[in-house]
Amino acid sequence: MSIGITTRVVKIGNSRGIRIPKPLLDRLGPAEEVELIVEGDQLIVRPIRRPRDGWDEQFELMAQRGDDRLLDGAASLTGWDAEEWEW
């Protein structure tokens, strides 16, 4: 579903700027940086997503559910794994 809102382009020094209304920002989610893309006659503004955003929360959920155990068990550990690696 798309939302259409009219806003004004304002002069900011030698550049131009727009204010992004709150309903549109709410759809984007929290973003400190955005990417601007021109496709034909459209300006696309999209949040920059970091490749590992949210991993900490997902790992925590895995630990709570017990989904973070080794799948192949201790039998696959090497001597280095058993003696040198800190689990």
Is 28 part of a structural domain of the chain?
Answer: yes
b/e code 36-64 from CB counts within 10 Å (16+ = b): eeeeeeeeeeeeeeeeeeeeeeeeeeeee
Please tell me whether residue 73 adopts helix, strand or coil conformation.
coil
Is 54 part of a structural domain of the chain?
Answer: yes
Is 78 part of a structural domain of the chain?
Answer: no
The pTM score is: 0.49
Is 38 part of a structural domain of the chain?
Answer: yes
Number of structural domains (the chain) is: 1
Please determine, for residue 36, whether its predicted confidence score (pLDDT) is greater than 90. Answer: yes
Print the domain residue range for 56.
Answer: 1-73
Q: What is the pLDDT of residue 67?
A: 85
Q: What is the mean pLDDT of the chain?
A: 84
Is 52 part of a structural domain of the chain?
Answer: yes
Per-residue pLDDT band at 12 (split at 50, 70, 90): very high
Is 85 part of a structural domain of the chain?
Answer: no
The DSSP secondary structure of 39-68, one letter per residue, reads ETTEEEEEEPPPTTTTHHHHHHHHHHHTTT
Q: Domain holding 5: CATH number?
A: 2.10.260
Length of the chain: 87
Given a contact cutoff of 8 angstroms between Cβ atoms, the answer to whether 31 and 45 are in contact is no
Is 68 part of a structural domain of the chain?
Answer: yes
Is 9 part of a structural domain of the chain?
Answer: yes
